[in-house]
Structure 1
Amino acid sequence: MTDISTSLVKPASDIPDGFASLSQGVFHASTIVFPDVASFLHRQAQAHTGYSYGQNGTPTHYALANKLSELEGGGYTVLVPTGLASAVLVNSMLLAAGDHVLLPDSIYGPTLETTKTLFAKWGVRHSIYPNDIGAGIADFFEDNTKLVWTESPASNSMEMQDIPAIVAAAHARQIKVVMDNTWATALGFRALDAGVDFSIQALTKYVGGHSDLLMGAVSTRDEAAYHALRDTAELLGYYVAPDECFLALRGLPTLALRLERQYVSALRIAAFLQSHAAIAQLNYPPLPGDNYHHLWKRDFKLGNGLLSFSLKQDNLPAIEKFVAALQLFTLGNSWGGVHSLIAVAPQRAPKTGWLLRLHVGVEHVDDLLADLERALATLD
């Protein structure tokens, strides 16, 4: 008879069949086992569609990737540890020494920094183009331009881009286009439908929705590019834990509900701020009168809870006083969850002064408006 210590090492057997749940199972694994030598020796052949090693995916990983591809309107999705890792993955897969990449002047700061530091060190050259250039981006192309980055709206300034025009100009020269679509998610704007080659997002934000996970994703409809992304992610050592995947899967069923509520609340708050005497400038493209409302109205189906503004008293003591008076907007450097947040940042050059960014959560909008009104009153 087998010793009990040996029996305890083996997986449990005789588990009843017939279990069904509305919740995705969480599978933890580093080692994947195989029935025979032949399947073991050919395990890498199924690394992108099956199971070869824990880093390459478990049923929990595939469940999330498949749901995100469905959200994007079809295609393939690669999961990575953070939103920034999504940007690094696309650059790493597409760019080589001697290549040229274009980034808009409103791009997410860390995306720019990794391009300027890591990829410049590896021989990739970058240029910055005006955010609102549209089809005029063709004037910035070089013979070795391989990739155009876009982000619309930008996550601080809320500046928007003419994505279809940029895509058309880039594709005419066989140049790939990637879009950071974290602000809208594919519920608000289907980047792949607009011809974008790679749609990235920080799942940390709206997909997760509860400020308790870090993850990113890259989606594409190009099967060959998907396999290249998977291969590159493996070379970079990227891995996402199944528990994080479960948290993202938990957020997906309420994604539309949360966005719809936050969008409605943000519209009211944006309208209030736009007409307030203490506000110098309000940035929220879904609001009529915003400089980019025409692009948002043409291309987007849904807004969200992220907006920014500047105060007429554009000095740090006034900003500190205003932020200290808030009770429901917590000071924190992220967004996309159910809680309302405020962040403070210097304006990006050549602008000067300070920018305040609000993330509108799911709290009752009347309470949020009262909180802002009280805090703004301290500046009178």
Structure 2
Amino acid sequence: MTKKKAISTEQIHHPYKPPEGWNAVPVPVAKASTVLFKDAADLHDYKPRDGKGYRYGLHGTPTSYTLAARLCTLEGAAHCLLTPSGLAAITLVSMAFLRPGDEVLVPDNAYGQNRYLTESFLPHWGVTHRFYDPLDAEGFKSLLGEKTKLVWLEAAGSITLEFPDLAGLVAACRERGVLTALDNTWGAGVAFQPFELGIDISMQALTKYPSGGADVLMGAVYTRDQALHDKLNWTHEHLGYGVGSNDVELVLRGLPTLELRYRAQDATTRGLAAWMQSRPEVSRVLHPALPGSPGHEHWLQCSSAGAACLFSAVFKPQYGMAEVDAFVDALQLFGIGYSWAGPMSLAVPYDMSRSRSLPLPYEEGVIVRFAIGLEAEADLRADIEQALVALLK
């Protein structure tokens, strides 16, 4: 008679294995730090990553490899690496390709955390930087020098939503052999395909559209070129970047509705942005699909299929930050908070004079960036209208 093992031993080494053949719409969630090998020879055998083998949970599970593969399809990429946040994805690219003595060029309207990373962190590694006007491809050419190793692109720009001259900027970089990296969080793989434009590396904050629930922090870096991917993958491994399987599950759940949500939020945003142009309190509405908005002609050239869920209103000079803050506080359906592409609409006031190096391409004034959620357009319009009364008090 086989001696009965202790309860704890039996629960860890139980002989039952589920039968093969299970299949369902949701992707099964595989969680692991330790990955078991079938024998010592298997342990010693090198296991390639990218969904071809497993060594340790930090580097990938069936669940995370499934998400990476589906995201490649979304972006038109060949390779995808997952990171703990969008900022981590930006950091991965900069750490992989910049060395002491190198220079990076960043658009003046870049995501604030990329700007902070460039100004405050990279100099400690001996990396210099310059900010450029994303609407001036001709002037940009003169900034490209021997030390320039990486150019960041962002379409559309953070907060002020200028749409860059992507064709002109990318052409200038390719002519000089300079690597390009695009923050494609706004486009989300729906508005345009970055690699079709000649861009080398794309990244997204999966926190936004791919998740859609305002409940996940994650990022992704995409490439088509194997050599670029290998360099990113090496850096990714040595930085110890990993993502939790439960978060991966939530992003996988959001992907099937991504395009539906993108289109719905895009339509509501365009309606509200066009209406906001008629308001006497506002001097300018910034939205790539609006004629007259900075970079509108560039948006038409490459991404007229989509315009995301963001627009910004520049309030007339007589309304200072205190008055605009009162307007934001009076909104009832808009949360006050960062991020976007979730179900709830958001509004955040900004004083752009504190976060730019170059002149703004529009008249000065306090800005409110609106991130439109999934509420009804009529309800959001009525809420903005009632809150505008606060400006006059």
| Structure-2-length-normalised TM-score | 0.93
Q: Map residues 102-251 of structure 1 onto 2, 5 A cutoff.
A: 102-251=105-254
Measured after TM superposition, the shift of residue 317 of structure 1 is 2.2
Deviations along 1:331-373, one digit per CA (max 9) or x if unpaired, are 1111111111111221134556422110111111111111111
The residue type paired with residue 334 of structure 1 is S
The residue type paired with residue 96 of structure 1 is R
Q: Which of these residues, 43, 46, 50, is aligned with residue 48 of structure 2? A: 46
SS in 2 for 1:294: helix
Distance 2:373 2:66 in 1: 27
Contact in 2 for aligned 1:202/1:216 (Cα 8 Å): yes
Please state if 1:307 is matched with 2:343: no
Measured after TM superposition, the shift of residue 136 of structure 1 is 3.6
Measured after TM superposition, the shift of residue 314 of structure 1 is 2.8
Distance 2:13 2:141 in 1: 62
Measured after TM superposition, the shift of residue 13 of structure 1 is 2.0
Contact in 2 for aligned 1:155/1:183 (Cα 8 Å): no
Which structure 2 segments of 5+ residues have no match? none
Deviations along 1:100-133, one digit per CA (max 9) or x if unpaired, are 1111111111112112222211111111112212
Distance 2:14 2:300 in 1: 56
Measured after TM superposition, the shift of residue 320 of structure 1 is 2.2
Which structure 1 segments of 5+ residues have no match? none
Distance 2:68 2:21 in 1: 25
SS in 2 for 1:155: coil
Please state if 1:259 is matched with 2:262: yes
**Would the alpha carbon gap of residues 378 and 115 (structure 1) be closer, same or farther in structure 2, given more than 3 Å must change?**
closer
Contact in 1 for aligned 2:289/2:307 (Cα 8 Å): yes
**Would the alpha carbon gap of residues 117 and 272 (structure 1) be closer, same or farther in structure 2, given more than 3 Å must change?**
same
1:16 is aligned to: 19
Contact in 2 for aligned 1:102/1:129 (Cα 8 Å): yes
Distance 2:376 2:232 in 1: 42
Distance 1:219 1:373 in 2: 41
Instruction: Point out 4+ residue stretches in structure 1 off by more than 3 angstroms.
Output: 348-353
Q: Which of these residues, 326, 330, 344, is aligned with residue 325 of structure 1? A: 330
The residue type paired with residue 326 of structure 2 is K
> Alignment RMSD, CA only?
1.5
Aligned identity (percent) is: 38
Contact in 2 for aligned 1:344/1:357 (Cα 8 Å): yes
Measured after TM superposition, the shift of residue 135 of structure 1 is 4.3
SS in 2 for 1:148: strand
**Would the alpha carbon gap of residues 159 and 12 (structure 1) be closer, same or farther in structure 2, given more than 3 Å must change?**
farther
Measured after TM superposition, the shift of residue 18 of structure 1 is 2.5
More deviation, 106-115/2-11: 2-11
The residue type paired with residue 328 of structure 2 is V
